[in-house]
Amino acid sequence: MIVRQLAAPSPGPNPGAREAGLPKARTDAATRPVRPNQVLAIVCVGIVLANLDLFIVNVALPDIGRDFVDAGLEGLSWILNGYAIVYAALLVFFGRLAERYRRDVSFLVGVALFTAASAACAAATSVEMLVAFRVIQAAGAALMTPTSLGLLLATFPPDQRGHAVRTWTAIGGFAAALGPVVGGFLVAWSWRWIFLVNVPIGMVALAVGLWKLPRIPGHAIRRPDAWGAILITLGVGALTYGIMKTADWGWASGRTAFAIGAAALLLALFVVDCLRAKNPFIDPSLFRIRPFTGAALILAPYSVAFGAMLLSIALWLQDGWGWSGLKAGLAIAPGPFLVPVTSLLLAGRLIARIGPASVVALGTGLFSAGMVWWAVVPGLEPSMPVAITGMVFLGVGVGLTFPTLMGAGTAALPASSLATGSGILNMIRQTALALGVALFVAVLGAPETPLGKLAAYERAWWLTAGLTLLSLVPLALLRRPRPAGNP
């Protein structure tokens, strides 16, 4: 049944694309049966590696700063943003490139690259070296992510893809949010362990993937547009850098205006290139699909808020309340653990009853309430119950929102654009995460007194709550069309 579905042609933005080599896939399936749940388990290891490492560094930043004494918060933040920007920019490029080749091979190459770069990060002797190896890590993650989803959607029958994508996204979101928790445990020994822990996991994923992954052939499509990838990478990098430097330069300075102006120009050129190129980096026709466009427009502000939230809370618990990395990680833990529980046990049932738009509205409302809690309730006196309560709101909100958006956005895509479309959504998400970190650093500034520090964090949390509510504006695009004849 599954092999027949893979062989069936599917319409889409690349009408000439077809599944190359499908007879070979049929032969391979005879010797290596396609078991969708087995594929899901294997590719989730890859997405756990990519997402866990996105935020595991947050809790470790103070320890890394003590080792590299010349690096301030701005320099250290590039350990986060260098990874996030390159990851975001290469997601679509590698997704498009990987669609030409066997997806199982592309996925395993990404795992191998990520694992090797993780070992190199653990051996870094300066912030600059660490940032450089993080960029290589990001390239491996950018190859793993779209190919893992492409494998998933190619092996599950259409009626089960929505649930599979929600599971994949929930586990990835859980790993991202769990990063501070795992980081808190590992930095008790050394910050280098936050990278070394990836090595045995990656090696196991490689061994099991080589043994068990089915051979999923690629599509006969053209090579992706490298110029578009360069434009968006430079544009997002300039925007992030400009926002982050406002604490030193000021919003009205010429240097800030130049950096943000250059970013606007580069991003405008990127849009023009996508509209005019014969083989655009992002196919504009994908945005004619309402659920996909709705998911993209909601993900942007929501992910800015998510990135600012994770860094701000991890730093406040250590910098504001003076907790150790381990204690901070334990305080954050309830939020991450609620993400898969909420997504797998609650989100699917709610989607069936009230639709994805209402589920996303509920999730964003709870996430915003969690940020208001952090802005209003905590003071200078440390409190574990206060921290846990705030994380419960945030964890349930993330569990309802991120997996639902990814499931609704990708379920409507044609088969020939699964890897590309999922890469676009993840690119938007990761770009927004980097901007969220930059915005938080800019809003925080450099307060010197405890009361000044508290006021700066509260400003950042109010802004984060507002950005979350902004994501409700395009919600109508996710609403299910009414059946014909119904009022």
- Please answer whether residues 39 and 214 qualify as being in contact, where contact means their C-beta atoms are separated by less than 8 angstroms: yes
d(CA 301, CA 126): 33
pLDDT score at 416? 64
Domain ranges of the chain: 31-224+281-478, 225-280
Q: Residues 157, 162, 164, 169: what is their CA dihedral angle, to the nearest 10 degrees?
A: 150
Cβ-count burial 445-466 (b if 16+ within 10 Å, e if not): eeeeeeeebbebbbebbbbbbe
Q: How confident is the model at residue 7 (pLDDT cuts 50, 70, 90)?
A: very low
In 165-234, DSSP assigns E strands to none
d(CA 366, CA 467): 13
Cβ-count burial 362-377 (b if 16+ within 10 Å, e if not): bbbbbbbbbbbbbbee
If one compares 173 and 235, the residue with the highest pLDDT of the two is 235
If one compares 86 and 470, the residue with the highest pLDDT of the two is 470
Q: Report the pLDDT averaged over residues 188-204.
A: 88
Q: Report the pLDDT averaged over residues 182-204.
A: 86
Rounded mean pLDDT of the chain?
79
d(CA 106, CA 102): 6
pLDDT at residue 427 above 60?
A: yes
Which residue has 């009408």 as its token pair? 15
Report the percent of the chain where pLDDT is more than 90: 20
Cα 147 to chain centroid distance, Å, stands at: 15
pTM for this prediction: 0.72
Based on its alpha-carbon atoms, the radius of gyration of the chain, rounded to whole angstroms, reads 22
pLDDT score at 18? 35
pLDDT score at 333? 81
Q: How confident is the model at residue 218 (pLDDT cuts 50, 70, 90)?
A: low
pLDDT score at 28? 42
pLDDT score at 409? 84
pLDDT at residue 284 above 90?
A: no
pLDDT score at 113? 93
Q: How confident is the model at residue 88 (pLDDT cuts 50, 70, 90)?
A: confident
Q: Return the top range by mean pLDDT from 81-95, 159-173, 299-313, 430-444.
A: 299-313
> Check: CATH 3.30.70.3420 for 31-224+281-478?
no
Residue 102 zone, left/alpha/beta (φ > 0; ψ -120 to 50; rest): beta
Closest C-alpha among 288, 208, 216, 264 to residue 477: 288
If one compares 450 and 16, the residue with the highest pLDDT of the two is 450
State phi, psi for 75 to the nearest 5 degrees.
-65, -40
pLDDT at residue 222 above 80?
A: no
Q: How confident is the model at residue 42 (pLDDT cuts 50, 70, 90)?
A: confident
Closest C-alpha among 206, 10, 14 to residue 109: 206
- Please answer whether residues 143 and 117 qualify as being in contact, where contact means their C-beta atoms are separated by less than 8 angstroms: no
Paired strand residues for 219: 19
Q: Return the top range by mean pLDDT from 147-161, 209-223, 434-448, 459-473.
A: 459-473
Instruction: Please write the tens of the pLDDT for every residue from 236-265.
Output: 778 877 877 776 787 778 888 898 899 899
What the block records as the tokens of 464 is 């984060």
Instruction: Please write the tens of the pLDDT for every residue from 380-408.
Output: 889 999 999 999 999 999 989 988 888 88
